[in-house]
Amino acid sequence: MKTLIMIDVQNDFMPGGSLAVPGGNLIVPVINRIQSHFDLILATQDWHPVNHKSFASNHFGTKPFDRMVLHGSLQTLWPDHCIQGTTGAELDKNIESDRIAAIFRKGMDPEVDSYSGFYDNNHALSTGLAGYLKEKGANEICFCGLAADICVYYSILDSILEGFFATFIEDASSPLYPEKFDDIKCELAKVGVRFVHSRELLAD
Ligand SMILES: [Zn+2]
């Protein structure tokens, strides 16, 4: 079962969006091109209520990208993004979505952020993604999407904790902080993540 999970390919993470990832739009045609390689395609969607505590706008005297302690954990405060039902929360309109079998939404609890597609940041609430994948018989999962160094990164780590083999498709993902991304890749390599270019997938 060749499985692809596209993480948060949403308007607010695209250039022009409220939390734009550099080059986010460039991964869209790559993701579309590789879809034919997979048997099962899933997506995640950051899906926040307007009062979400990860938004700087919900904390007096803070600004986006400040950090604060939220319920005992360090939280980066973000610009308002991916608010439920808004255009910014929709998947990019150029992503081919016909073959997306299920979309797992995250970040609905206003009190806790949720970078991973599997669990919230406290590892308390599951989205059900791991159970879904296991029931489908998925073994190795390929990851793409935004942002490579945050939501893709944490999703990959959780997939490994759940016992899956993880592959990161380098040109189908883009980091929010490119200058720090080599360190993230080293961490992923240390836990056994395989790195591929879309070209290699299509050559299989
Ligand atoms: Zn978010």
pLDDT in tens, 60-87: 999 999 999 998 889 999 999 999 999 9
Q: What is the DSSP string of 21-69?
A: PTTGGGHHHHHHHHGGG-SEEEEEEE-B-TT-TTBGGGSTT--TT-EEE
120 C-alpha to ligand 1 centroid (Å): 11
Yes or no: domain 3-203 corresponds to CATH 3.40.50.850: yes
Burial of residue 185, with CB atoms counted within 10 A of its CB: 0-12 exposed, 13-18 middle, 19 or more buried: middle
pLDDT in tens, 135-154: 999 999 999 999 999 999 99
185 carries an active-site annotation: no
113 carries an active-site annotation: no
Question: Is residue 110 over pLDDT 80?
Answer: yes
pLDDT in tens, 41-57: 999 999 999 999 999 99
| pLDDT score for 203 | 84
Question: Is residue 102 over pLDDT 80?
Answer: yes
8 carries an active-site annotation: yes
Q: How many helices (H) and strands (E) does the chain have?
A: 5, 8
158 C-alpha to ligand 1 centroid (Å): 17
Q: Which helix (H) or strand (E) covers residue 141, if one does?
A: strand 140-146
pLDDT in tens, 2-27: 999 999 999 999 999 999 999 999 99
d(CA 109, CA 107): 6
What residue segments make up the domains of the chain, in order of their start? 3-203
CB 119 within 8 A of CB 144: no
